[in-house]
Amino acid sequence: MVYTAMTRKAMQICFDAHKDQVDKSGLPYVFHPFHLAEQMTDEETVCTALLHDVVEDSSYTLADLEAMGFPQAVLEAVGLMTHDPAVPYMDYVAAIGSHPIARAVKLADLRHNSDLSRLDIITDRDRMRAEKYAAAITLLESMEKKEI
């Protein structure tokens, strides 16, 4: 992970936003964005990884993050990663694919969320979610290849 004043600020916000949340296996949710951030290679992707669920899952808004000084590229990526339930899932994923930072973080997010070994009990619903995520990974990887 890259440590800068900006990434440390994102770490603090991430922890504040998720400190009382747990994931599907009952572990502290904050481990998830920290796991993604560890895979990122620059300040903008680290900040996006840490903040990727903050707007969707807490009282923080994009305006709050902007007021805290996060760069436009991070705000755009977090905005794209904040899923509006009215938007069909694969349309949401396709929009993410157009933004290199959001795409990199979403690929890491999908891979981590697809890891069924994180769960104590695997249900049909978990398998269906993993299949949906596999389709999203395929779409994002194809968009990434077109950009290269």
CATH code at 20? 1.10.3210.10
What integer pLDDT is reported at residue 142 of this predicted model?
A: 94
∠ Cα 135 36 101 (to 5°): 70
Domain membership of residue 15 as a residue range: 5-147
Structural domains counted in the chain: 1
* Global confidence as pTM: 0.95
For the range 115-121, what are the long-range contacts, defined as Cβ-Cβ under 8 Å and sequence gap of 24 or more?
118/23, 118/24, 118/25, 118/27, 119/24, 119/25, 120/25
What integer pLDDT is reported at residue 146 of this predicted model?
A: 77
Q: Report the chain (148 residues): mean pLDDT per 10 consecutive residues.
A: 97 98 94 98 98 97 98 98 97 97 98 94 95 97 81
